[in-house]
Structure 1
């Protein structure tokens, strides 16, 4: 981008003015910096301070403005260094602590943010702002009870503080106290019936309870107010469109998505969700909005588009764009593009090229390299270099031991390399795959499953499988099925919890085992959905990275499962280009039976070939976090 000569001259004059007034005149310098920040002239602040580094020694406000400007310009590492050095220079500046705490909170370090907010609050005990920010950071740490206690104390002295009340509502939601959360949000709306955040969050709460019509009303009010006040955001369009789609109004949902994309054409999340929705509804050209905005300048959008192309098997389309981003100036874009490019090359059978991309980008990279390491491991598996793959995946599992997918890949490398003992330790199918009736009484079980089948049939209306899922030729429900207030689904949740607890109780803890080390009776469902397969429908082999204990309940099973293994659940058969392995274990589906297994196990299904349906409920469970 070229800068006009008069602008450049004016900018240079402005900096010279700072230099001339700096010595002994901070009362002139600081207001100029503050004014530039208010006008969002962040680059000028950075240039001015860097032209005269001693400016940061004048006052902690200069550090705040400089660090804040770098933050706005997405120069996060540099901003962190500025804040750290500033606090060493001005160790008692509570406002600087507060600014740095907010920076840390936005950049995923709530624990350190909490330390700063606590210290600032202890120095200046009268500041509501510091204590409110501490409530926010404690909630981000999942210390919900401590956050709630502090928030309630603050609310006694500031009963009409909308942001605090909204934060308390979010905390109550995390604690499962939805009635309290709703009460807080309604209280904010009573104070200010145009509060967009409260209206949006109330919509989210109602949506989670399955009260879709009521949720739509709140989202519509939020969007209407936001448009009138010219503060509309992509998220409001996204939420309204999604809940309209869930409520069965496809045309209205598409219209809201398109309205939002007209307003925010380069927003990655909005484009992605529209494409997903248009895809499952079989809309022609579901990626048309995306493709109009693709350019190197919109790099984050391009990365998301390429992810989708890889998930629908269009590796060549992804490759074309990714090759243009692997030298991008932004670290996160460059790393993501390299990892996706390696994946695209693997999909196209170019295994050596895939390995070369991941290895070359790993050299000298100081950022988060785990995605590149995983791609390197994948490429090594595809090249049948199994010993090398083991070393990579053992390292990755040490880096992120809770990610179940990395254990899947390590187990695959062990199996391929003939490390039978290590493979069996992870994938002991006889011990870790458990099938049992949902309800011990056979008659009660049959009756419940039949009622459940009728209800679930009303939820399957999509025409195509979701993008990025293992499902082929079938439909899948959205939202977390077991979060619904529906009494039938709550009964189902109760029965699944009972059966999961029984299975877990039959196992013994092993400290270093990715599954057995986390045995617990305090469980939570992090995902639940129903799948209906139709003719030629099946699940590709896959794993569940975010889970711990996964499961599937069979609701309706076609007769063909009795012949040739059609529709059977198969374990241990990887879906990696260039790696051919047979399954190690299989289960014949039976209506009313629930099967539990560790989330890291490869699992998929053989296709069904008749016109009969195969309906299931699937779910992921993790040991419950201790929430504050």
Structure 2
């Protein structure tokens, strides 16, 4: 009987490998009818069931196999892979620990453990695991590729390059390693070598989405806009619903004067995916940004008529109705949206914002309670609550928006290698100026009369920008350390010295430029670093119009007389101002032939 089981299991494995998984599952179940605790059958059935997408069933069979025989490292490894796909990282790690405890030479288990640690941003731990995998089996190209990625994440680019080169010696033409090598070359500003890597990948396998994005971004940042457009269009032909790339492509086309074909990417994508509410909603949003409200509403209403009342479409239509002043219809649409779906914090807060503007503060606060259950750290919740409390005379407004203590201007420490902060700022201005590659005001930002850099500033490897990043991080840690403790406060309860930047950019305002009042809905701590200021700003006093100064608390809600700043700060070069991301803030316009340059950022707990 044992021989028959082994033969049947081998047959099931062959069927699975040839794509006949259902037949393989049937064989395994027949075996279990005769021998219900046969561990090899249970574990294989787990593998086959996982392949069908039944993860709960797969876990059940693998666990059943281990309950019969705990000495199966390969089953722990497979179960760990299952948990990995479910993003249950702690459970996956426990499985890999068991697998490597049972077999210290189990290279693939060490490799899979390293993959999890890379996802968890534990790069040093990942390096330790993958090095153990390499010690067990030094001839696997994928191990060196992962080690290279981990070194890249640690910004150890020379070692990353060396690992990718080893991977390519072991496996010439290994496209993942070639792509990753190109990405590191780009970090080191070895642009020709990066392009060569990306082009090799695309010439070999033209459907590599991540490589089209990488080469498009490279062309974009090096101001080769025509080639960037082609690369992004190639990507969208493969992934028509990639909304991030639609935005990047069309913003770039607008800002660089490539107006022919502007927004056409959405039209082509909707031809490919005619039933995609996300595409219709995104296209309508772009049209509304340009003021073509009627066209935006028409395409949504047509999509609703053809495909039904999808919440994403109703929500976007409500937003456009609000912009055209049709508040009654907007409210009806938002109410209908929330009848359909109850798990979207943005829908609740947008409805709350409408109620806030209508003066229905209690009902608005009720919507923020629903949103808080979904995402308590969503800063828009607290911005709306602050306005409701302020306008209803609730003292909690002063607790939430303590402008004197929570808004703090801080001088950064002069980075090493510079004798004075002015010397550093001159070098920083020179580096940032090169990144302001257009003269066109961005369509979708809060600045008026200026430009903004593309992408995440702190990913730029220029040494002076990296020194700014470290100096701002140090200042942020000092800011946080000085804050009081309060586990009930949405800003203070997140206090930690473990921080990460979720965005950084540079803004260059020209004469008459300013920031409209706004807040940052997805941050925690926000704030600008002041790089260069016009003489008009430097020489101004409290008795003047305070040109170029930054103000806090001037919300756009409530009676006009209530929309006044609660605190205003004079910027100075070398100063970083930190504040809760939910606080309203903006700047005053200035008149000068000189520019006003800043480098703002958003920070969240790690």
Could you say whether these structures have the same fold, taking a TM-score greater than 0.5 normalized by the shorter chain as the test? yes
Shift of 1:98: 5.8
- 1:335 touches 1:369 (CA, 8 Å); kept in 2? no
Partner of 1:197: 176
CA-CA distance at 1:321 after TM superposition: 4.4
1:243, distance to aligned residue in structure 2 (A): 0.9
Give me the whole-angstrom Cα distance separating, in 1, the residues matched to 2:330 and 2:78. 43
Q: Does 1:572 align with 2:579?
A: no
From 386, 393, 398, the equivalent of 1:418 is: 393
Is 1:305 the counterpart of 2:283? The answer is yes
Instruction: Note the C-alpha offset of 1:124.
Output: 7.3
Is 2:401 aligned against 1:427?
A: yes
The question of 1:602 aligning with 2:584 is answered: yes
Aligned pair 1:296/2:281, yes or no? no
CA shift for structure 1 position 34: 5.0
1:356 aligns with 2:332: yes
The aligned residue for residue 601 of structure 2 is 619
**Secondary structure of 2:177's partner?**
helix
Aligned to 1:244: 219
Alignment partner of 1:137 out of 116, 119, 129: 116
Residue 534 (structure 1) shift: 2.5
The whole-number CA distance in structure 1 between the counterparts of 2:52 and 2:536 is 65
Structure-2 residue corresponding to 1:588: 570
Change in CA separation of 1:396 and 1:427 when aligned onto 2, cut-off 3 Å:
same
Extract unaligned runs of 5+ from structure 1. 1-23, 39-44, 71-78
Q: Which residue of 1 aligns with 2:159?
A: 180
Aligned equivalents of 1:613, 1:492: Cα separation in 2:
20
Aligned counterpart for 1:506 among listed residues 482, 486, 494: 482
Give me the whole-angstrom Cα distance separating, in 1, the residues matched to 2:328 and 2:348. 15
Task: Evaluate the alpha carbon distance shift between residue 86 and residue 495 of structure 1 in structure 2; reply closer, same or farther with a 3 A threshold.
Answer: closer
Whole-angstrom distance in 2 between the partners of 1:356 and 1:376 = 10
The residue aligned with 1:276 is 251
**When the two structures are superposed, what TM-score results if normalisation uses the length of structure 1?**
0.78
Q: Which of 500, 513, 516 in structure 2 is aligned with 1:540?
A: 516
Change (3 A) 1:577 1:305: farther
SS, match of residue 18 in structure 2 = helix
Which residues of 2 match residues 445-524 of structure 1 at below 5 A? Answer: 445-524=421-500
Once residues 177 and 534 of structure 1 are traced to their aligned partners in structure 2, the CA distance between those partners, rounded to angstroms, is 38
Per the TM alignment, residue 126 of structure 1 is displaced from its structure 2 partner at its CA by: 6.5
Report deviation, 1:528.
Answer: 2.2
- Which position in structure 2 is the counterpart of 1:225? 204
> What residue number does 2:372 align with?
397
Distance 2:598 2:305 in 1: 45
Cα distance between partner residues in 2 of 1:286 and 1:408: 34
Q: Is the 8 A contact 1:358 1:376 kept in 2?
A: yes
Does residue 513 of structure 2 align to residue 530 of structure 1? no
In the TM superposition, 1:325-336 aligns within 5 A as: 334-336=310-312
Q: Deviations over 1:113-157 (max 9, x none)?
A: 444555566677765444432322233233444333222111111
Measured at CA, do residues 313 and 29 of structure 1 come closer, stay the same or move farther in structure 2, by a change above 3 Å? farther
**Residue 165, structure 1, aligned to residue 141, structure 2:** no
Matched residues in 2 for 1:208 and 1:573: separation? 40
Alignment counterpart, residue 406 of structure 1, candidates 378, 381, 404? 381
The 1:339–1:158 alpha-carbon spacing in structure 2 relative to 1, beyond 3 Å, is farther
Decide whether the 8 Å contact of 1:345 with 1:353 is kept in 2: yes
Kept in 2: contact 1:315–1:344 (CA 8 A) = yes
CA RMSD in angstroms comes to: 4.1
Residues 1:392 and 1:178: Cα distance change in structure 2 (over 3 Å): farther
SS in 1 for 2:514: strand
- Deviation readout 1:249-308 (Å, 9 max, x if unpaired): 222322333444456556545434322322222311321122122153344444443454
Cα drift, residue 240 of structure 1: 0.3
Q: Is the 8 A contact 1:306 1:340 kept in 2?
A: yes
Q: CA deviation at 1:439?
A: 5.7
CA distance in 2, matches of 1:104, 1:276: 39
| Deviation per residue, 1:368-412 (Å, 9 max, x gap) | 433332333223223322112223224433542333343223323
SS in 2 for 1:296: coil
Question: Which of 24, 47, 51 is the aligned partner of 1:68?
Answer: 51
Aligned to 2:131: 152
Q: Separation in 1 of the partners of 2:364 and 2:112?
A: 45
Instruction: Tell me the TM-score normalized by structure 2.
Output: 0.81
2:18 is the counterpart of 1:35: yes
Shift in Å, 1:532: 0.8
Q: 1:545 to 1:286 in 2, by over 3 A?
A: same
In 1, the alpha carbon distance for the partners of 2:28 and 2:384 equals: 50
CA distance in 2, matches of 1:259, 1:370: 34
Quote the Cα distance in structure 2 between the aligned partners of 1:439 and 1:123.
51
Question: Compared with structure 1, are the counterparts of its residues 414 and 164 closer, same or farther at alpha carbon in structure 2 (3 Å cutoff)?
Answer: farther
8 Å contact from structure 1 (residues 335, 361) kept in 2: yes
Q: CA 1:32/1:444 → structure 2, altered by over 3 Å: closer, same or farther?
A: closer
Offset at 1:345?
A: 3.4
Which stretch shifts more, 93-102 or 397-406? 93-102
Tell whether the 8 Å contact from 1:308 to 1:468 is kept in structure 2 after alignment.
no
Question: What SS is found at the alignment partner of 1:582?
Answer: coil
1:237–1:405 CA distance, 2 compared to 1 (3 A): same
Question: Aligned partners of 2:15, 2:463: CA distance in 1, in Å?
Answer: 62
Deviations 1:227-261 (A, max 9, x none): 4xxxx322211110111121122223223334444
Cα deviation code 1:514-538 (max 9, x no counterpart): 3223344454444322111224432
The answer to whether the Cα contact below 8 Å between 1:539 and 1:605 also exists between their aligned partners in 2 is yes
Q: In 2, distance between residues paired with 1:99 and 1:350?
A: 56
**After alignment, is 182-191 or 284-293 more displaced?**
182-191
Distance (Å, rounded) in 2 between the aligned partners of 1:577 and 1:214: 56
Say whether residues 1:385 and 2:360 are aligned partners. yes
Which 5+ residue runs of structure 2 have no aligned equivalent? 1-6, 34-40
In 2, distance between residues paired with 1:137 and 1:489? 30
Q: Distance in 2 between matches of 1:440 and 1:267?
A: 41
Report deviation, 1:448: 3.4
Deviation at 1:465, TM superposition (A): 3.6
1:17 matched to which residue of 2? none
1:79-90 equivalences in 2 (<5 Å):
79-84=54-59, 86-87=61-62
* Cα separation, 2, equivalents of 1:82 and 1:354: 45
Segment drifting more, 260-269 vs 506-515: 260-269
> CA 1:418–1:610 in 2, change beyond 3 Å: closer, same or farther?
same
